Chain A
């Protein structure tokens, strides 16, 4: 892993207007992403977890400018070492970024155009960027398909002839076509069966070893994220509540929300005695977030202060590794990690 920033996100905000009535007046905003900052190092895998609707996909799509952020900067360091502010690029300038930042999508069915053959789907990024002629593109598609574990003869087939896992491989091949540096994986395995999910995870890991990709890996399954990521960011209601290295976040979480996520993970093995801990209530409406700390209505450690004052992001540094958490009581709380929640003691 090179010690170099690839992406730096600063105070990113994305608000979606809520329009109502005959005149479509703006009646308020969904604060899908509300003032988050983070960075991605070159060659690392960063996991982004959180409950559905908390803004994970929106964050990803602001980075590759599928969405134009409401405010904030996304700084990208290209292969020449120039730093480019992605949020300020015009449509034409964006073309240079698109090649470097690609995306893998969640839904193996809607992410491929059912009217196009696999060849056309995988070659599409090349075609829209006018790279190569038809013959060269076909060769490239051939290589890519082999690389993701499909056969060349499947090139003329149509998506409906493939299983979910194979379709996801096609999606991966398409993302690789432009030799990107960063791949935003938006829940790439959530819709797959476990046996196939493992295949795709292994594939992504192998590709990273081979090409040195950086991954922003969005998922809601914490075991998958823990498995694949070097660092993990936990998101709740448009904000990053905690970021830390993968090991630390699972062993000694600093934020109550992280602790409850860990407590909610079902553990099947009856020999691991684990008390399921669930977080009460539901995720609040993002257009009407609670005052003070977003987690206050559901937090088991809530105090009066939490309801009035939004917690600051606390930075902690240990052995040169920085981690952050946004809670008033980071230093006071003694939270349980996954190991402590799941004691390795035989049941009964």
Chain B
């Protein structure tokens, strides 16, 4: 294993045993996160982005959610550590969460506890992971609030989440996540609930802090434009599977997978006054998936085989992979 890999996910399968049937929320997903890079994961609602990140945090919702297979290897210690073998509440796992891998969530509103002040919540996470006393923890909390660019941190530290705006709450979340210097920050739709101007502020902040802390970021969003601004490599997900992996430039200028192409064509471009080309139909129900390629009912390049067999992942170049029959003949990966 090369030295600059921080996290490795191999054939991860996370399923939900729902009443309506088995939901394969994450199905055979593999990728690597390098040290210091920003990896983007993009896909439409319900395609398994959040479940992927919860699996890495070993926080898959119980009891319906189960990691059915695959491995998640953390390379930040001297020896590789397999996260899926750890108990969700074990000490080792808690140590990784927060100290090594931190996460910020989609909903800045619901992920902060409304009954504690902002300071108490940051202090809590500091104390939990890094034996510091109260005064030092408070000082650290104020320092973090200052770092994430909140005005008057000495005052905000004693305020409750509902007294802050959405953007400020998201800053607090970032401050909390970074308070223990993690190696990997998983940001699950950090700006989806925010206005563009605030989104720009938060993205700026994340870029700044990445340099300062020298950490890797896994940026999850449904917005290809945000991914493009922030990350070097991109994973495109659909119905729990990875459709395409590529460098950001290839995604925008040389995308191979019909789904990626469809997403790009759906986005209105400023200045280009042409009709949008949507992807027809809608994301299928995960309990009632089509046979063959899951994208086939919506794909405008579907071939006969697409309706019958699931395509393997083909290697287009060293970094670019596409799970699509169009590349039959290239080197197969799975």
Binding site for B on A (CB under 8 A): 51-52, 163-166, 193-199, 201-202, 205, 220-224, 226-228, 250, 260-261, 263-271, 276-283, 338-339
Instruction: Find B252's partner among A195, A269, A281 (CB 8 Å cutoff).
Output: A269
Given A202-B278, A223-B270, A271-B253, are A264 and B199 also a contact pair (CB < 8 Å)? Answer: yes
Which A residues touch B168, using CB under 8 A? 282
- Residues of B near A201 (CB, < 8 A) are 268, 276, 278
Contact between chains at B282 and A196 (CB < 8 Å): yes
Minimum C-beta distance from A53 to chain B (A): 9
Do A165 and B282 contact each other (CB < 8 Å), given the known contacts A194-B44, A220-B195? yes
The answer for the CA separation of A222 and B223 in the assembled complex, in Å, is 14
**Residues of A with C-beta under 8 A to B87:** none
Contact between B195 and A52, CB atoms less than 8 A apart: yes
Give the secondary structure class of A's interface.
helix
Number of A-B contacts (CB under 8 A): 138
Shortest Cβ gap from B287 to chain A (Å): 13
Contact partner of A194 (CB less than 8 A), chosen from B165, B195, B224, is B224
Q: How far is the CA of A260 from the CA of B195 in the complex (A)?
A: 12
Residue of B nearest to A262 (CB): B270
B201 close to chain A: CB less than 8 A: yes
Q: How far is the CA of A261 from the CA of B263 in the complex (A)?
A: 24
Question: A269-B252, A282-B165 known; A198 and B197 CB under 8 Å?
Answer: no
Residue of A nearest to B164 (CB): A282
Cβ < 8 Å to A, chain B residues 253-277: 253, 262-263, 265-271, 273, 275-277
CB nearest to A347 among chain B residues: B249
Q: How many residues of B contact A (CB 8 A)?
A: 46
Partner of A197, one of B198, B224, B226, B266: B266
Point out the residues of chain A lying under 8 angstroms from B279, CB to CB. Answer: 195-196, 198
Given the known A-B contacts A222-B270, A264-B200, A270-B252, are A195 and B44 also in contact in the complex, defined by CB atoms under 8 Å? yes
* B21 CB, min distance to chain A CBs, angstroms: 16
Q: How far is the CA of A85 from the CA of B162 in the complex (A)?
A: 41
Q: Which of A194, A198, A228, A266 contacts B203 (CB 8 A)?
A: A266
A sample of 22 cross-chain residue pairs with beta-carbon separation below 8 angstroms, ordered by A number, consists of: A51-B198, A164-B282, A194-B266, A195-B263, A195-B278, A195-B279, A198-B268, A202-B278, A220-B196, A221-B196, A223-B268, A226-B268, A226-B270, A228-B268, A265-B196, A265-B270, A266-B203, A268-B227, A270-B252, A271-B253, A278-B204, A282-B165
User: Which residues of the partner chain B approach A163 to less than 8 Å between Cβ atoms?
Assistant: 282-283
Choose one: A195, A228, A338; the contact of B271 (CB below 8 Å).
Answer: A338
A267 touches which of B195, B197, B225, B266 (Cβ 8 Å):
B225
Q: Is B226's CB under 8 angstroms from A194's CB?
A: no
User: Taking the complex as formed, is B113 at the interface, i.e. its CB lies under 8 A from any CB of chain A?
Assistant: no
Closest CB of chain B to A198's CB: distance in Å?
3
Residue of B nearest to A227 (CB): B268
**B228 contacts partner chain A, Cβ-Cβ < 8 Å:** yes
Give Cα A197–Cα B282 distance, bound, in whole angstroms.
11
Report B-chain residues with C-beta under 8 Å of the C-beta of A223.
267-270
Complex CA gap A46/B185 in Å reads: 41
Instruction: Choose among A221, A268, A282 the residue that contacts B226 (Cβ–Cβ < 8 A).
Output: A268
Which of B165, B197, B199, B225 lies at the interface centre, i.e. has the most chain A CB atoms within 10 A of its CB? B197
A279 to B45, CA, bound (A): 29
Which residue of chain B has its CB nearest to the CB of A189? B268
Cα distance A269–B228 in the bound complex, in angstroms: 6
